[in-house]
Structure 1
Amino acid sequence: MCGIIGVVSNKESKRLAELVVSCLNRLEYRGYDSVGVAALSSANLEVRKAKGTVEEVVRKKNIKELSGYAFLGHTRWATHGAPTDYNAHPHTDCSNNIAVIHNGTIRNFKELRDELQSLGHKFKSETDTEVIPHMMEEYMKRGMDTFQAFRSAVKSIQGSFAILAVVKGERRIFFAKRDNPLVIGLGDDKTFIASDIPSFLPYTRKVIVISDGELGYVTPNTVYIEDENDNPIDVTSRIKIIDWDASSASKEGYPHFMLKEIHESPIAVKDTISGLLSEIDKVSEIAEEIRKSSRIIVTAAGTSYHAGFYFSLLLARKGYTSIPLIASEYHNFRVKKGDIVIAISQSGETLDVKMGIRKFKEEGAKIIALTNVIESDIARESDYKLYMRAGPEIGVAATKTFTSEIASLLFLYSLIEKESISYLESAHETVRNVITETEGFAKKIGEELANKNNAYYLGRGLGVPLAMEGALKIKEIAYIHAEAYPAGESKHGPIALVENGFPIVFINDGELVDELEKNLQEMKARGGKTYSISVNKRLNFADTEILVNTDEKLSSLAIAPIIQLIAYYASVKRGYDPDKPRNLAKTVTVE
C-alpha cells in the first residue's frame, strides 16, 4: 500500500536527490502518511524521514540537499504502526549501515522481532519492516556477504512484500518481490526500481517487470535477478518498451488528476476497444470458455466490483449462473471444475483478488483476468488475461479505469452472446459527448450535494451497480455518507431517514422507468430532494435531471462520467483534495 523508489547512478550528486523527489511526487497516490529518503554516498548512509506529505517532508528535512550515488525513497500508507516520524521508512539496522524500504505486510514480524531482540538488536519503530535490516545485519555478523544476507532475510519472511535495500559501501540496490508490484527502469547511466512505471517514466521507457518470488540487485549498468530457487534469470528477454507518453502521468493544466482522468475517459475507452479488437481471436476463445462453463464467478473489490456486478447481471439475464463476489469474501465460496472465475483489478495487484484466485485455481476453476497493468501478478497467475489499456491512473478514485472496465466487459459480453460489437465503435464518442454536454450540470448537482451530510443513490436493474458506484465515489472523495439501494428496496427501511431536503440521486438507465418513477414520487412525498441521471427517457417529477441520449447498450458508459463529475465537484466545493482521499490508497496490497 506504499510507494517505493530506488535509483543508483554512476555519478554522485545532489541532482539525484531532486530526481528521487520527482519520482516520489508521482508515487504519492500510493500513500501519504509519511515520507523518507536514504542517500548512499562514498562517505555515508544518511536517512531523513518524517510524517507528512512529500512536499512537507522534502521542505522540512531539506531532502534536496542530500548527495549520493544511490537513493531510496518511500511514501507510506500505514499498516503496522501509526503514521509517525519514527515509523516512517527507510528503516536501518543497529549500526546504521543498512537501509530498507518496504511495501506490504510481514505476517511473522513479531516472532522475528522477538528473536532479534533476544540477540541484542535494538528497534526504533513499531513497524514490521524494521526486522529486515536487523536480519541482514545478523546474517552478516555470521559471515554471509551482503547479498547472501539479503537473500536469507527475505526467505525468513512470511507475507507480502516489495523490498529495496542498500548497504553502506556498495553501489547497488537489493530487491525482492512477493505479491506486491515492483518494476525496473533501465536508464543510460542509472537504474531505477519502483512500485510502478509512472514514477520514473520521464527518465526511461525501458522496463523489466519483476515476477513473484524473484530477488536480486541493480547497479547503474546491470541487473541481476534470480528465482525463488536461487537460479539466475536471463533478463534480456524480459525488457519491454513502454509506449505511454510521460505527460500521461502529469496534470497537464487540470487542477486535479481526477478531473484530467475523467476527461481522458473517451481516449481510454477508444484504446480499450482497439486493444480488444486487435486480440479478437483470444477474446473469442475466452467467450467460448465462458459459454461452456457451469458457473461464472465474477470477483473484484471496490469500483471494480461494481463493474463486475454490472457484467454479472447482464449474464444472469441471459440464463447464465453468474455470481458476483466481493473479493475479500472469497473464504465463503467454493468453486469446482467447470467453473470460470473472472477476476477484475485495475492494478492487477489487489491482494484480496489474488488470494481468491489462488484458492479457486486450486479448487479446479479456470481464471480469467481483466486488468489495466500488463504482466501484473493477477494477469500472470490467470489462465487467460485481458487488458484494458486505459493508461496510468494517478487519482486514487478510479474514473477512466471504471469506464474502461465497463467497455471491456460489454465487449466480452457481446462476444459471449455472439452479437455485433459495432455499437462499441462509437463508445468513446458517447463518453466524450456526455462529458462535454453535462459537466456544467454535474458541477451544479455536486455543489448542491456538498452542503449535505447524507444521500441515497437508487436504481433498478442494471442501474443498481451504477448507483453503488455513484454512492462510493461521493463517499470516498467528498466524505458524504451515501448509500446505494435497489430503488424498490428503499421502501423496506431506508425511506425512514428521508425528510425535508434529504437528497436522493436516481440512476435511470432507460429501463424500468415507470417503476423507478413510483419510487421517486414516494421520496418526494416525504420531502426528499430528487435528482435524476437519465438516459433516453425522462424521469418525470425529478427536481433536477440530467438527460442524455445514446444507444441504450451504451447507457452505462454515458452514466459513468456523470456520477464521477458530481463526486469530483462535491469534493472540491467542500475544500478537499479528490486525488488524495483520506485513509485510502490506489492499490490495496494488504488483506
Structure 2
Amino acid sequence: MCGIIAHLATDDAVNGLIEGLDRLEYRGYDSAGIAVSDGSDLSVYKRAGEISDLKSDLSAAPLTGKIGIGHTRWSTHGPPTDENAHPHTGDRERVAVVHNGVVENHRRLRKQLRADGHEFTSETDTEVIPHLIEEYLEAGDSPEMAFRRTVDDLEGGNAVAAVFEDEARIFASRDGSPLVVGIDDDEYYLASDVPAFLEHTSDVIYLEDGDVVIVEPDQLRILDPDGSSVKRSHETVDWDPEEAGKGAFNHYMLKEINEQPTSLTNTVRGRIDAEQEIVFEELDTGIFDGIEEVHFVGCGTSHHASLYSARLMSRAGICARAFRASEYVETSGPISEKTLVIAVTQSGETADTLAALREATNRGAPTLAVTNVMESTAAREADETVFIRAGPEIGVAATKTFTSQAVTLALLSQKIAGELPQATLREDLPELLEALARIPEDVQQVIDQNQAAELARDLLTYDAYFFIGRGSSLPVALEGALKFKEITYEHAEGFASGQLKHGPLALVTPNTPVFSLFTGEEIEKTITNAKEAQTRGADIIGIGSADSPGQSVSDAYLEIPATHPVCESLLANVQLQLISYHTADLLGRSIDKPRNLAKSVTVG
C-alpha cells in the first residue's frame, strides 16, 4: 500500500516525482522522500509527514537531477519517522531504494548483513535491500547483477526501484506487488499505479511478476527471472487525466460520490440488451457449466458487495457464500472444479484476495475476478475477468467502486442464475433489469435532492452510531457503518436488524442514533426492530422511498426514488455516503486520507 514513483527525464526529474507522489498519496501518507541523481552524485531527502511537508522543505533546499525515485509510505515495519521514511541507502550510500510490499525474510537477511559489518539506521524491512545491493557491489558485481541478485534474495510480494550514484539508469522489479511503466516520448515513468503519471502519458506497459526493468536515457529493457530480454505489450489507458484530479470539489471522496451516475452508466452500458438479456461479452461461453456453488472472496467494501450478490444468488437457488478473503483458507471448506470462486477487488492487487484466489486455483476451482483495473494481478491470474468500469478512484474510502461492484454483481448473479439448471430466475427479472438500467439517473436524483448536509449538523453530539438492515439491505448497512467510521473516526457499527435484540440493544441510549434502511422486501420487520431501539430512547434516522411505511416511525428521514426493492438499498447507500462525508467534513477530519488507512492493501 506504499506508493512508488520513478522518473527518467530529459531535463529535471524532481517535478515529475513530486507530482507522482501527490497522485499516489492515497496509497500512504505517513512519510515521503525522493532520491535524484545526475549520473554521478546521488542526493536523498526524506521526512515524516505528508507530501506537502516534503514539498515545503524542498522549496527551501531544492534537489536537481535527471533520474530519480520517490516514495510515499503507509507504515508497516516501524512507525512514521524520518529514519523509517524511504528512500533507504546502504552504509556507503552508493544506492537508494524505494519499496512496496513486505520482505518476509528481512530478519534473517538483517542478521546476516550485520554479521558482515553493516549498520542499520531504521526499523524497516526495506533497509536490507540497499545493504544487500552494496554487498554484491563490493563483491565485484555490476549494478545490474547486484540488483538482480538482491531481488532474487527477497521473499514475499515486493516491488523495488533503485538508483545508483554513478549510473544514469533506474533499476526496478515487480514480484507480487504492482508496478507499471509509463512512456512519454524520450521520458519514462515507473509507478505503483497509473494515476501517478497519467497527466503526462497514457502509454503504459504492465510488468509481470518476476520482471526486472532497466530504464536508460535511450531505451527500456525488461528481463525475465533468468536475465533474458522479454517483450511486454504496450497498452493505452482510456482514463481521462482529469478523472484522477479533484476538479472543483474540496475532496476526492465528494467528487467520486458525484461521479456515480457516470460510472454506473459505464458499468451498465452494453450489459442489458434490447431483448432484456444480460450480456457479458468478455466471458467465454459455457464457463458456468457444471457449477454447483459459488464462493465470493473480498475485503472491506468489496466483501460487502460480495454479500449483496451472494444474497441475490441464494434467493435464486444457488449455493452462494461470501467470505472475508483473509479467512478463506481456514473457512471455505471443500473446494472443487464445481466451485466457482469470484474474487472481488477494486484494485486487483489486494494481497488477501489474491491469496484466496491462488488457493482456489491450487485446489482446482474455476476463478473469476471482478475488478476495476485492467492488467491488474487479479485480472491476469483469474480464469475470467469482468471489469466494473468505474474509472480511477483516489479517495481511500470507496464510493463509486462499491456501487459499480454491486451493480456488476447484481447483473452477474442473474446471468449465472439463468445458466445453472438448479437455479430459478426471478419472476420480476424484467422489472429488476429495468431498474438496474435506470440506476444512474436515480442516483443523480439522490445527489441533486439530498439533505445529508443539513442532517449531519445534528449528528455531532452523539456517542455512537448504529446502522441496521435486512436481506439485501444488510450489506449496505454494514457498508454505511464502515464508511462512517473510516472518515469520521466515530464509533459506528452495522447489524442485521433482527440482531439488535440479541445483544447490541444493550448499547442503545438516547445518544445512539440508529440509521434504519427501510428498503428491500422486509421493511415491516426492520420497522419493528427500529421501534425496539426507539423505545430505549434512540433517534431513528430512516432511509427509504416516499411511500415507505418506515417514514412514519422515523425521527429524521432521507428519501430515495421509488424503484425495484433490490435496487433501493443501493440508492440508500448513496445517502449514507453523503452523511458520512458531511459529518466528517464538519468534524474537520482528513477525509481523503483517513488516519491509519491506505487505499489498496497490498500486504497481508
In the superposition, the TM-score normalised over structure 2's length comes to 0.94
Of 167-176 and 394-403, deviating more is 167-176
**Cα separation, partners in 2 of 1:276 and 1:112, compared to 1, 3 Å:** farther
1:94 matches 2:98: no
Aligned equivalents of 1:556, 1:223: Cα separation in 2: 49
Q: Say if 1:114 and 1:202 are closer, same or farther in 2 by CA, change over 3 A.
A: same
* 2:522 aligned residue: 512
Identify if the C-alpha distance between structure 1 residues 354 and 205 changes in structure 2 by more than 3 Å, giving closer, same or farther. same
Question: Does the aligned pair in 2 maintain the 1:257–1:579 contact within 8 Å?
Answer: yes
Partner residue of 2:584? 571
Q: Distance in 2 between matches of 1:529 and 1:240?
A: 53
Which of residues 214, 217, 227 is equivalent to 1:220?
217
Q: Distance in 2 between matches of 1:252 and 1:283?
A: 33
**CA apart distance, 1:289:** 3.6
Aligned to 1:280: 279
| Residue matched to 1:320 | 318
Q: Which residue is equivalent to 2:294?
A: 296
The one-letter amino acid of 2:4's match is I
SS at match of 2:78: coil
Paired AA for residue 249 in structure 1: A
Contact 2:472/2:520 (<8 A) preserved = no
- Indicate if the aligned counterparts of 2:544 and 2:559 stay in contact, CA closer than 8 A: yes
Match of 2:309 in 1: 311
Map 1:506-585; keep pairs closer than 5 Å: 506-535=516-545, 537-539=548-550, 540-552=552-564, 553-585=566-598
Unpaired segments ≥5 residues, structure 1? none
Asked if 1:341 corresponds to 2:354, the answer is no
How is 1:4-43 mapped onto 2 (pairs within 5 angstroms)? Answer: 4-11=4-11, 13=12, 16-43=13-40
Change (3 A) 1:64 1:319: farther
Q: Which residue of structure 2 aligns with residue 502 of structure 1? A: 512
- Cα distance in 2 for partners of 1:78, 1:63 equals 27
Residue in structure 1 matched with residue 179 of structure 2 by the alignment? 182
TM-fit CA distance, 1:224: 1.0
2:548 is matched by which residue type in structure 1?
K
Superposition TM-score, scaled by structure 1 size: 0.96
Hey, what does 2:421 align to over in structure 1?
none
Report what 1:268 is aligned to: 263
Larger CA deviation: 37-46 vs 421-430:
421-430
Look up the SS of the partner of 1:482 in the other structure. Answer: strand
Q: Identify the residue that residue 76 of structure 1 maps to in structure 2.
A: 73
**What displacement does 1:445 show?**
2.8
Q: Which residue of 1 aligns with 2:165?
A: 168
| Superposition deviation, residue 403 in structure 1 | 0.7
Confirm or deny: 8 A CA contact 2:345 2:370 kept in the other structure: yes
Give the conservation status (yes or no) of the 8 Å contact 2:257–2:577: yes
Task: Describe how 1:366-445 pairs up with structure 2 within 5 A.
Answer: 366-418=366-418, 419-420=429-430, 421-438=433-450, 441-445=451-455
Partner of 2:422: none
Q: Distance in 2 between matches of 1:291 and 1:318?
A: 17
User: Residues 531 and 78 of structure 1: is their aligned pair in 2 closer, same or farther, counting only changes over 3 Å?
Assistant: same
Deviations 1:73-106 (A, max 9, x none): 1000011111100000000111111000001000
Q: How does 1:237-248 map to 2 (within 5 A)?
A: 238-248=233-243
Q: Which amino acid aligns with 1:395?
A: G
Query: Residues 403-451 of structure 1, C-alpha deviation per residue, up to 9 Å, x if partnerless?
Result: 110111122123223455444332211111111122xx22223332233
SS of residue in 2 equivalent to 1:10? coil
Q: AA paired with 2:301?
A: T
In the alignment, the residues of structure 1 paired with residue 558 and residue 281 of structure 2 have an alpha-carbon distance, to the nearest angstrom, of 38
The separation in 1 between residues aligned to 2:29 and 2:461, in whole angstroms, is: 27
CA distance in 2, matches of 1:451, 1:537: 28
In the alignment, what sits opposite 2:253? 258
Identity, % of aligned positions: 39
Listed one character per residue, the Cα deviations across residues 104-145 of structure 1 (whole Å, up to 9, x for unaligned) are: 000000101111111111211111111111111111122211
Question: For residues 242 and 559 of structure 2, what CA distance do their matches in structure 1 show?
Answer: 33
Partner of 1:138: 135
The alpha-carbon deviation at position 382 of structure 1 amounts to 0.3
For residues 511 and 162 of structure 2, the distance between their equivalents in structure 1, rounded to whole angstroms, comes to 56
SS at match of 1:417: helix
RMSD: 1.7
Query: Which residue of 2 is the match for residue 157 of structure 1?
Result: 154
Match of 1:65 among 48, 62, 77: 62
Q: Is contact 1:21–1:64 with CA below 8 Å preserved after alignment?
A: no
Structure 1 outlier segments of 4+, above 4 Å = 275-279, 283-286
Instruction: Say whether the 8 Å CA contact 2:318–2:417 is kept in structure 1.
Output: no
